Amino acid sequence: MIKMKNLTLGYKKEKILNDVNIRVKKGEFIGIIGPSGAGKSTLLMSITGGIKVFNGKFEVLDIDLENIKKKNLIKLREQIGVVFQGYNLVDRLSVLDNVVSGMLKDIPLTRAILKLYKNKELEKAKEYMDIVDITKHSLKRCDELSGGQRQRVAIARALAAEPKIILADEPVSALDPKSAKKVMEVLKRVNEVYGVTVITNLHHLEYAKEYCNRIVGVNGGRVVFDDNSEKLTDKLVEKIYAVN
Ligand SMILES: Nc1ncnc2c1ncn2[C@@H]1O[C@H](COP(=O)(O)OP(=O)(O)OP(=O)(O)O)[C@@H](O)[C@H]1O
């Protein structure tokens, strides 16, 4: 579902990632690791079609990302859920309203504003809240939740749009270890239950090793490791985090 072949990516005139060759299949759970400034976020966010392609082939969900047209960009983004470190929730709305807002493309705006949800929508929302274990707080406002709980709401909201891919940009870096593990467990569950491909940038190597099936290591704009998590030896870790 994602094909990167001899791909060079960057911003305006600056090339950030060079000669990237990655293929991603449906249902994978991939962790991107590497030192600060290596290009992890650029690599992750390039999947949403927002990063310039200098060279090579880049296809996501059968859409060619080189010189992508607006219509295809919309089609692409409808199929990708993005979870940020900053949560991007509407604070003054409840957990339930935030999760339902993920389905907005199916709900007319006036009905959404008036919160006139149908039973089917409420059932779906409950299913997504259950899977991220936030149902008991469904009527709380999001600004009353902890960081980990908010991140789980953000995942439920992303799921509500029924994406094929979820991209999580440093989803746990602001969290304490217990909350971080819970968020990683939720991502894994979502990946396993719905078969959604999950790709996440992680600052903590241990989380990548424990939860991801595959690890991509980036250093200085190049992919220096791409294999099953078990193949990541201490020596390879040194290579990924080496200072150039
Ligand atoms: N919008 C942008 N415009 C121009 N250059 C950018 C932009 N965003 C990032 N860069 C540059 O791209 C390089 C890689 O940054 P990126 O954020 O992808 O790295 P990262 O590995 O995710 O780092 P970190 O772990 O610190 O978040 C850096 O040199 C950065 O300055």
Task: State ipTM.
Answer: 0.96
Residue nearest to atom 27 of ligand 1 (CA): 36
DSSP 195: -
Task: Tell me the two tokens of residue 173.
Answer: 């870096």
| Nearest residue by C-alpha to atom 5 in ligand 1 | 11
Write down the pLDDT at residue 187.
97
Closest CA to ligand 1's atom 17: 41
Report pLDDT for 109: 66
Establish whether residue 40 lines the binding site of ligand 1, counting it when its CB lies within 6 angstroms of any ligand atom. Answer: yes
Give the atom of ligand 1 at the shortest distance from the alpha carbon of 38. 21
Closest atom, ligand 1, to C-alpha of 218:
21
Return the residue matching tokens 């993920």. Answer: 102
Q: Distance from the CA of 42 to the center of ligand 1, in angstroms?
A: 6
- The confidence score (pLDDT) of residue 114 equals 67
Confidence of residue 87 (pLDDT cuts 50, 70, 90): low
The whole-number average pLDDT for the span 94-118 is 79
- Out of 8-12, 99-103, 130-134, pick the least confident: 99-103
Q: Which of 50, 116, 122, 121 is nearest to 82 (CA)?
A: 50
Is residue 115's pLDDT more than 80?
Answer: no
37 CB less than 6 Å from ligand 1?
A: yes
pLDDT for res 85: 74
Residue 74 has pLDDT above 80, yes or no: yes
pTM: 0.94
SS3 call for 175: coil
Give the SS3 label for residue 94: strand
Kindly list the domain boundaries of the chain, sorted by start residue.
88-162
Token reading at 129: 């809240």
Q: Among 13, 36, 40, which residue has the most ligand 1 atoms within 8 Å of its CB, making it the best to mutate? A: 40
Under 8 Å between Cβ of 18 and 8: yes
In three-state secondary structure terms, 30 is: strand
Task: Provide mean pLDDT across the span 222-243.
Answer: 94
